[in-house]
Chains A and B, each alone.
Chain A
């Protein structure tokens, strides 16, 4: 299981990083989303893995490390807020300089696409 998780983390991180390095806003947003998935899995894995051992008193005798889970929860929420803001920013940028290029470089878009 650990190995599978590691592979997943590797794949998500890699794809996320690659997407963040694209030139258009939308892929960058996707990339950050992927990266945050990867981060959450990574952070979670730092508490080491346990099966059928939810950190609920009485539900089982063994308990997975609850702290990383709590951290991940916080991270998810914050990540959500950030993604939302970036999304809005992308729209604002598109509105401001008629291009979804991350540096605002206006490439030759067909006119009916301009805001």
Chain B
């Protein structure tokens, strides 16, 4: 039943959008229906909740690990707020139907409205603090959408953003506070939390929790100094203002005060924070309201001031004050909502909300005039109206408060002042609008009474004001009792709801306030002058300005940290490495371990020196591209020699083969890339780079030395032992590649295949013009395919292919293998390209290498897959020896098929890449000739 009450508007929110095609009336009906049903459900709960003061609960688990549950409770307080939300909600829907322009998309409007209604119901009925936060934020979102409803107006967008930002921030603070509370109490269940108020107040984090929660409350309820968003939220359609920004959403804050009153209130901190914020807001709002020219602006500020009053009451820390607060919540909701609607009607009928352009409207809108007058009398606290009663209570509490120490007389004085101001602005609302002479512009407009049903909601509310005002005990007594006791979570204090308490201080204060107010209004002209003399920065401008500055600053910081220079990125990446190395060097372990060094001879030294020198030369001569390339290939050569010397023939061969192809690549690239460029590194950069490179180089060298001279046992003994029996190959390295760790190799050739495919895509439709001169200004050779080269290359091809086959086949037992074979073949074919040009080759070799690459990898993968058929894991190898004539004892291993796949991939990939690069030039050649 509780779920239904919240779910109805939530799901109903879709209805209006769906029925939009059926016309505006049906939209309004679709919107009213869920609200009405929910209202009936609520009413059905009245006897139990209000009558016997029972508490209805319902809950479903949601996220127990985090203490979040779909738990709802309906007690007096919740019921009261639910009544406001649904009751006024219904009236607003009715009103809104007539208010909205034909052109406005009603579906969207009512959907948002219902969404908000659901969220609000959730807030007031939540029985789990986290759930409360959930709905709390939902109200912020939906109000953002409603304020920005007329999204083409800049004011609406700004107002919406400002409201969202502030209430959103509040919501986050609230979340933090709630989690702190929950972790202190050990549960987020509302009942438990309310019970353990003492523990919370005793906790060392209490001040933090309180301020976080209060931040949420104050932003939501527009308490000073966060009040400024509310007036600008008034750019929303008037029904929204009436609903969200007077009756319900802004009340969410004070609702939370009431809800958590037993858990948080009762400390001096609470008193100081809450009451002073309330007092400040009360006076500030009342003062500002007096000077607004915009009707809604006036009402907005008066709302702020009344919210301040309620907050102040909660802040006074006496249960009587709490009762007064709850009472005033009810009253304010009724009269303020009706006033907003009245303002809306005026706006609707006269086309303006500016008080200075209004006047004497009672001639045109007699009924509305009466209604508005009564409502604003309630706002002013005139006897026989509900406003009077709660104000009396307020004055009573104010006089009794002994707080603020020696300043205890201050509260009553200020209270009276605020009362006077409210009288003044109420007078202004009535007198300036409905009395006095009619401005000609207005008369020309011929305003008239609105359609009956647009006025009906106002009538209902005003009648309520009167009834409560005259027979409080009957109409509001039980409700107030139930709500107040739920707030105080226990016994009620002594209070009487009567119009006449005899001659006493509160009555005197009311009288003073009443006449003071009238005087204030009478002599308002000097006040206006005074007010005008003060600077009045417009909140949205200031806000947007701050925001812009913030964004600008953020952007600046980001730019400052991330300046878009790769050099710095790499430096950042290498800095930790350098530091690590320095730390390692500093820690000074025994760099030379126990392991005996392998002997050195002159050749080795020579090679090493050669490598070092040419490496350095590569750096120094990097701008003389050709030479740099030469140098680097020398380095590569030495590296492969090192491998050969240190018993790694496979590595030596591979390194050599790769060397050739890489150099070819670099040459092609060098051929295209520009040679001159002016942007160079600053000296600071250079020194930084020197630091990085030297420390990293030295570190790596020393670490290598350290590792080489400290022997440790490794897993590779296993490979040597199992190479022949397990892998059927004598060349352990190759067996590891195609068998023990064949999966790596599969990945490796896949990388090659991907690179080929990627490069193909990368260089698609890329046209580069060839520099006609080399760096030294010599003309590149015009003759494209020198004869000698052509002859040699064609002679080489068959030999190369033979060699490749040999290397491939023997690979399993002697140094060699698919990869080297592949590269040899590729090089031989590339030679054809260099010698005879792309066309010549394409005429003979199909240049469609994608399938070749793919089938290579496929072959390897399928070899591995075959083992699955025998229910062996992927890549399980098998082999058998068979006797071939002539060839002799010959071994056939599944691993060799695998290796064949490697071979094909390498050939395909290399050719694909080089052909692609070659193509670039070809395109251009034809153009440049």
Interface residues of chain A, those whose CB is within 8 Å of chain B, are 1-27, 29-30, 33-34, 37-38, 40-42, 44-60, 63-67, 69-70, 72-74, 76-85, 87-92, 94-95, 99-103, 105, 107-110, 112-115
Q: Are the C-beta atoms of A72 and B701 separated by less than 8 Å? A: no
Q: Are the C-beta atoms of A102 and B567 separated by less than 8 Å? A: yes
Q: Are the C-beta atoms of B674 and A100 separated by less than 8 Å? A: yes
Closest 4 interchain pairs by CB? A14-B697, A10-B701, A81-B755, A18-B693
**Contacts A34-B618, A56-B815 given: A23-B567 contact, CB under 8 Å?**
yes
Contacts of A11 in B (CB 8 A): 611-612, 615-616, 697, 701
Min CB gap B682→A, angstroms: 10
Q: Are the C-beta atoms of B665 and A47 separated by less than 8 Å? A: no
Q: Mark B625-661, 1 if CB is under 8 A from A, else 0.
A: 1001100100110110011011111110011001001
User: How far is B925's CA from A59's CA once the two chains are assembled, in angstroms?
Assistant: 52
Q: Are the C-beta atoms of A91 and B669 separated by less than 8 Å? A: yes
Contacts of B635 in A (CB 8 A): 12, 34, 37
Contacts of B655 in A (CB 8 A): 40, 76
User: How far is B906's CA from A105's CA once the two chains are assembled, in angstroms?
Assistant: 36
Q: From B16-24, B46-54, B257-265, B711-719, give the one contacting chain A.
A: B711-719
Q: Are the C-beta atoms of A56 and B658 separated by less than 8 Å? A: no
Kindly report which residue of chain A lies nearest to residue B638, judged by CB atoms: A8
Contacts of A42 in B (CB 8 A): 700, 704
**Contacts A21-B567, A33-B632, A41-B639 given: A48-B693 contact, CB under 8 Å?**
no
User: How far is B822's CA from A76's CA once the two chains are assembled, in angstroms?
Assistant: 14
Q: Are the C-beta atoms of A92 and B696 separated by less than 8 Å? A: no
Q: Are the C-beta atoms of B622 and A37 separated by less than 8 Å? A: no
Kindly report which residue of chain A lies nearest to residue B694, judged by CB atoms: A14
User: How far is B732's CA from A103's CA once the two chains are assembled, in angstroms?
Assistant: 45
| Residue from the list A17, A40, A64, A81 in contact with B696, Cβ < 8 A | A17
**Contacts A14-B697, A23-B679 given: A95-B737 contact, CB under 8 Å?**
no
Kindly report which residue of chain A lies nearest to residue B688, judged by CB atoms: A21
Kindly report which residue of chain A lies nearest to residue B737, judged by CB atoms: A70
Q: Are the C-beta atoms of B574 and A17 separated by less than 8 Å? A: yes
Q: Are the C-beta atoms of A47 and B714 separated by less than 8 Å? A: yes
Contacts of A70 in B (CB 8 A): 733, 736-737, 740-741, 744
Q: Are the C-beta atoms of A73 and B679 separated by less than 8 Å? A: no
Kindly report which residue of chain A lies nearest to residue B681, judged by CB atoms: A23
Contacts of A66 in B (CB 8 A): 716, 719-720, 732-733, 736
- Which residues B601-617 have CB closer than 8 A to chain A? 604-605, 608, 611-612, 615-616
Min CB gap B370→A, angstroms: 74
Is B771 an interface residue, CB under 8 A from the partner?
yes
Q: Are the C-beta atoms of B762 and A88 separated by less than 8 Å? A: yes
Contacts of A100 in B (CB 8 A): 673-674, 677
Contacts of B625 in A (CB 8 A): 26
Min CB gap B646→A, angstroms: 5
Q: Are the C-beta atoms of B769 and A115 separated by less than 8 Å? A: yes
User: How far is B701's CA from A67's CA once the two chains are assembled, in angstroms?
Assistant: 21
Q: Mark B550-593, 1 if CB is under 8 A from A, else 0.
A: 00000000000000111100110010000000000000000000
Interface residues of chain B, those whose CB is within 8 Å of chain A, are 564-567, 570-571, 574, 595, 597-600, 604-605, 608, 611-612, 615-616, 618-619, 622, 625, 628-629, 632, 635-636, 638-639, 642-643, 645-651, 654-655, 658, 661-662, 665-666, 668-670, 672-681, 685, 689-690, 692-694, 696-698, 700-702, 704-705, 707-709, 711, 714-716, 719-720, 723-724, 730-733, 736-737, 740-741, 744-745, 748-749, 751-752, 754-755, 758-759, 762-763, 766-769, 771, 813-815, 819, 906, 909, 913, 916-917, 920
Q: Are the C-beta atoms of B597 and A3 separated by less than 8 Å? A: yes
Min CB gap A113→B, angstroms: 5
Q: Are the C-beta atoms of B669 and A113 separated by less than 8 Å? A: no
| Residue from the list B564, B698, B913 in contact with A10, Cβ < 8 A | B698
Kindly report which residue of chain A lies nearest to residue B905, judged by CB atoms: A77
| Contacts A/B (CB < 8 Å), 25 sampled | A1-B598, A3-B600, A5-B608, A11-B697, A14-B693, A14-B697, A15-B697, A17-B689, A18-B692, A19-B619, A38-B700, A42-B700, A44-B646, A46-B707, A48-B595, A55-B731, A56-B649, A56-B814, A65-B714, A79-B658, A81-B754, A84-B662, A85-B755, A109-B677, A114-B769
User: How far is B744's CA from A73's CA once the two chains are assembled, in angstroms?
Assistant: 11
Q: Are the C-beta atoms of A81 and B708 separated by less than 8 Å? A: no
Tally inter-chain residue pairs, CB-CB below 8 A: 335
Q: Are the C-beta atoms of B612 and A7 separated by less than 8 Å? A: yes
Min CB gap B700→A, angstroms: 5
Q: Are the C-beta atoms of B673 and A69 separated by less than 8 Å? A: no
User: How far is B849's CA from A51's CA once the two chains are assembled, in angstroms?
Assistant: 41
Q: Are the C-beta atoms of A113 and B674 separated by less than 8 Å? A: yes
Q: Are the C-beta atoms of A101 and B768 separated by less than 8 Å? A: no
Min CB gap B255→A, angstroms: 56
Contacts of B666 in A (CB 8 A): 29-30, 33, 87
Q: Are the C-beta atoms of B636 and A88 separated by less than 8 Å? A: no
Contacts of A10 in B (CB 8 A): 697-698, 700-702
**Contacts A73-B819, A107-B677, A110-B676 given: A17-B814 contact, CB under 8 Å?**
no
**Contacts A4-B605, A89-B762, A107-B679 given: A21-B698 contact, CB under 8 Å?**
no
Kindly report which residue of chain B lies nearest to residue A115, judged by CB atoms: B768
Contacts of A110 in B (CB 8 A): 676
**Contacts A7-B612, A51-B645 given: A33-B815 contact, CB under 8 Å?**
no
Contacts of B741 in A (CB 8 A): 70
| Residue from the list A33, A54, A65, A88 in contact with B716, Cβ < 8 A | A65
Q: Are the C-beta atoms of A2 and B763 separated by less than 8 Å? A: no
| Residue from the list A55, A59, A84, A107 in contact with B759, Cβ < 8 A | A84
**Contacts A29-B669, A50-B598 given: A64-B755 contact, CB under 8 Å?**
no
User: How far is B611's CA from A15's CA once the two chains are assembled, in angstroms?
Assistant: 11
Min CB gap B684→A, angstroms: 12
Min CB gap B868→A, angstroms: 24
Q: Are the C-beta atoms of A8 and B654 separated by less than 8 Å? A: no
Looking at A4, A27, A95, A101, which has the most chain B CB atoms within 10 Å of its CB? A4
Contacts of B711 in A (CB 8 A): 48
User: How far is B749's CA from A80's CA once the two chains are assembled, in angstroms?
Assistant: 11
User: How far is B513's CA from A40's CA once the two chains are assembled, in angstroms?
Assistant: 91
Q: Are the C-beta atoms of A13 and B745 separated by less than 8 Å? A: no
Min CB gap B217→A, angstroms: 50
Q: Are the C-beta atoms of B705 and A3 separated by less than 8 Å? A: yes
